[in-house]
Chain A
Amino acid sequence: MQALLHQVLSGLANGGIYASVALALVMIYQSTHHVNFAQGEMATFSTYIAWQMINLGLPYWVAFLLTLVFAFVMGVAIERIIVRPFYKAPALSVVAVFIGLLLVINSLSGAIFDYTIKPFPSPFPTDAWYGSPYLSSHEVGMIFVTLVVLALVFAFFRFTPLGLAMRAAAENPVSSRLVGVRVGWMLALGWGLAGLIGAVAGMMTAPIVYLDPYMMFSVLLYGFAGALLGGIDNAWGAVLGGFIVGVLQNLAGAYLVGTELMVTVALVIIVGILVIKPAGLFGRTIVTRV
C-alpha cells in the first residue's frame, strides 16, 4: 500500500511536468491547429540557457526568471520568423517544418553546450520531504512550481484583457480583427507563453534526468499523450491528462511492464486514445466541414 502511494505521488510529480508540456502544446494547437513537435527541444534549449547562467554565478531564481524571459522571446521569434509563412500551407509542410525545427534546435543545444550529460541544480533541498517516505523535496517543489505556473497562466487567460484577446483570436480570428485585436501578435504571444511554460518544465525535469540535448524527447511524448487524453483543444483537460499520464506511467512501470518499456506505454496511450476516443476525455468532438 505504501509502495502504491509512493508510485502515485511521484507519478503526480512527473505528471506536473507532462501537464505543463501538454498545456504548452494545447496553447499552440488551440489557435493554429498545429502540433508543435519542437516544443520539447525549445524547453531543453531554454534549460541550457538557465544552466549557463547558473554556472556564471547567478542565483538560481534570478536565472530561473531570466530563462523564462528568454524562452518567451524565443517562442515569439520562432513564430514570427519561421512558422508564420506556413499558416495556409498543407499539414504535411507544417509537420515537416516542425520536425525541421526539432532537429535544428536539438543540434544547436548539442553544438553550443556539447553532448555530455550535465547535472542541473534543484532549488529545493535534496533530502526527503520532512522525512516523508513518499516524496523527495524536489518532487514536492516540482509539483508546487508547476501548480503555481499553471495557476498564473489560467489567471492570465481568465482575468486580463490580453488573455481575453488571445482566447478570442484563437476562437474566431476574423471577428477578433474586427474588434481591433492584432491576431498575428496574439499567435506569437501564444508561442511565447508556450515556450515559457515549456522552459519551466525543462528546468524542473533536468535535476531528475540530468541535462542533455535529448532530455525532453520522451517528456514531449508523454506531454502529447496527456494533451490527447484530456482533449487537445481543452486546456484544463490537457493539464489533468498530463497528471493522469504521469500516474499511469509510474504505475505501469512499477507493476506491469517495468521501466524498460516506458515509452511504449506512451505509444499505447496515444494510439489507444486516438482510436477509442479521439476527442479525449474533455475535448470537443471534431466535426469536419465539407
Chain B
Amino acid sequence: MATLDTSRPAAAELFAGLSLRTWKLVGLAAVLVAACILPFVISSYQLLLATQVIVYAVALLGLNILTGYNGQFSLGHGAFYAIGAYTTAILLDKTGIPYWATIPAAGMICLVMGFLFGLPALRLEGHYLALATFALAFAMPQLLKFKDFDFLTGGVQGIVITAPDPPAGLPIRADQWLYFFCLLWTVLLFLLGWNLLRGRTGRALVAIRDHPLAAATMGIDTARYKSFTFGVSAMYTGIAGALGALLAQFVSPDSFDLFLSIRFLVGIVVGGLASMGGVFFGAIFIEFVPNIADQLSKAAPQALYGGVLIACMYVMPSGVAGLVRGIGLRLKRWTAAGPP
C-alpha cells in the first residue's frame, strides 16, 4: 500500500481569493446544511435509505481506519457490526436503559472485543489476518443462533425492537428524529476520526502500514498501535451496527453473514482506501447498487460486487476518492500552468 498518497497539499494556493482550506470548510458546511434539510424534502422511504447510508459510512470509516490507514485486513467487520447491533437490541429488550445510552455501550463492547481480537491478530499479517477474520465473519451467525445464548439473542428468531420517539416538543416524525440522531453520531465520529488520523497517531498508523519495521525502529510501539486500531475500528463499526439496529427495528443472525463483511470490503475499496470522504461514496454504492441489481436477478448483486472488486483493483486501486483526488490534482496543475 506504499503508493497511497495521504499527504495534504499546502493550503497556500488561492482560488477566487480564498484558500483551499477555506473552500473545503465552506464545502463541508454546505454538505451539512444540505444533510439537515434533506429529511424535510424526501419521502420517508428515501429517508430510510439515506439514514442507512450514513450508518454504513460510519461502519466503513471503522474498517477504513483499520485497513486503509493501518494496513490490517478484515474480512470480518460484519461481525463487529453484528455485536453492536445485538448489544443495543439486547439492552433495549432486557433492560430499561434508554435507547441513546445503548449506543456508547455498544461502542465500548466492540472496542473491547476488537481489542481482544486484535491481540492475536497482531502476530498475523496480510493473508493470514484476512483468513482469521474471514473465519470470524463465518462463525458469527452461528454463534448468534447458538441455543445456549437463546435467552439473550432470541436465537434464529432474533429480537424485535421499537423505534425511539423524538424528544417531547420537537415537531418532527420518528424517522426524521432517527435520521438526525444518526447524523449526530456520524458527525461526532468523523470529527473524532479526523482528529485521530491527522496528527501523531495518524502518522504512526500510516508508518506502520507502509514500513512496519522502520516504524518499530523509530520507536513506534507497533503492537500497541495495531491492537488499539483494531479496537477503535471495531468500535466505529459496532456503533454503526447499533444505529443500524435502531433503524431496522430488528436484529437476526442471518442479516449479519459473511456477505455483510464482504459488502464493507467492497465499500471501502470502491470509496477509496485511506480516505475519510470516500466512505460516503462507498456507503452509497453498497446501499443502492445492489438494490438496483437485485431487480435483474438473485445472482446479480453478488456478481456485481465481485466484478466491481476485481475491476476496481485493475483500474482504480485508490477508489472513487482517489479518482476525484487525481482529477483535482490535474485541474490544479492545469490552472497553475495554463493550458498546454
Report which A residues bind B (CB closer than 8 A).
33-35, 37, 82, 85-86, 89-97, 99-108, 110-111, 115, 217-218, 221, 224-225, 228, 260-264, 266-267, 270-271, 274-275, 278, 288, 290
Contacts and interface: CB of A to CB of B under 8 A. Distances in A.
B65 interface: no
Contact of A274 (B128, B145, B307, B317): B128
A290 B213 CA distance: 7
Interface residues of B, number: 48
B136 A267 contact: yes
Given A91-B126, A110-B298, A290-B213, 13 more contacts: A93-B317, A95-B127, A99-B75, A99-B262, A99-B265, A100-B308, A104-B302, A111-B299, A224-B135, A228-B131, A264-B139, A266-B138, A271-B136
A82 to B, nearest CB: 7
A111 B303 CA distance: 9
Interface in B251-275: 258, 262, 265, 269, 273
B305 A100 contact: yes
B303 A104 contact: yes
Give me the 8 closest cross-chain CB pairs, A-B, nearest first: A103-B306, A100-B309, A104-B306, A107-B299, A111-B299, A91-B126, A107-B303, A100-B310
Contacts of B132: 270-271, 274
B123 A267 contact: no
B115 interface: no
A104 B310 contact: yes
Contact of A90 (B1, B307, B309): B1
Interface string B285-326: 000000000000111101101111110111001000000000
Contacts of A271: 120, 132, 135-136
Given A35-B131, A95-B73, A270-B131, A103 B302 contact: yes
A110 B306 CA distance: 14
Contacts of B139: 263-264, 266-267
Contact of A224 (B73, B131, B305): B131
Contacts of B269: 96
A100 B306 contact: yes
Contact of B145 (A33, A37, A105, A260): A260
B298 A101 contact: no
B38 to A, nearest CB: 32
Contacts of B314: 85
A99 B142 CA distance: 21
B143 A261 contact: yes
A203 B104 CA distance: 49
A76 to B, nearest CB: 18
B67 interface: yes
Contacts of B333: none
Contact of B127 (A35, A107, A111, A261): A35
B310 A101 contact: yes
Contacts of A275: 120, 123
B138 A221 contact: yes
Contact of A86 (B124, B305, B313): B313
B147 interface: yes
17 contacts: A37-B134, A89-B317, A91-B126, A93-B313, A99-B75, A99-B306, A100-B305, A103-B309, A105-B306, A107-B303, A225-B135, A261-B146, A267-B139, A271-B135, A271-B136, A274-B131, A278-B123
Contacts of A89: 313, 317
Given A107-B302, A260-B147, A96 B142 contact: no
B270 to A, nearest CB: 10
B7 to A, nearest CB: 19
Contacts of A260: 142, 145-147
B112 interface: no
A139 B326 CA distance: 58
B147 A96 contact: no
Contacts of B258: 217
Nearest to A290: B213
Interface in B1-51: 1-2
Interface in B53-102: 67, 71, 73, 75
B183 interface: no
A104 B142 contact: no
B130 interface: yes
Contacts of B138: 217-218, 221, 263, 266-267
Contact of A95 (B75, B297, B299, B305): B75
A86 B146 CA distance: 40
Given A103-B303, A115-B298, A290-B213, A263 B310 contact: no
A106 B307 CA distance: 12
Contacts of A228: 131
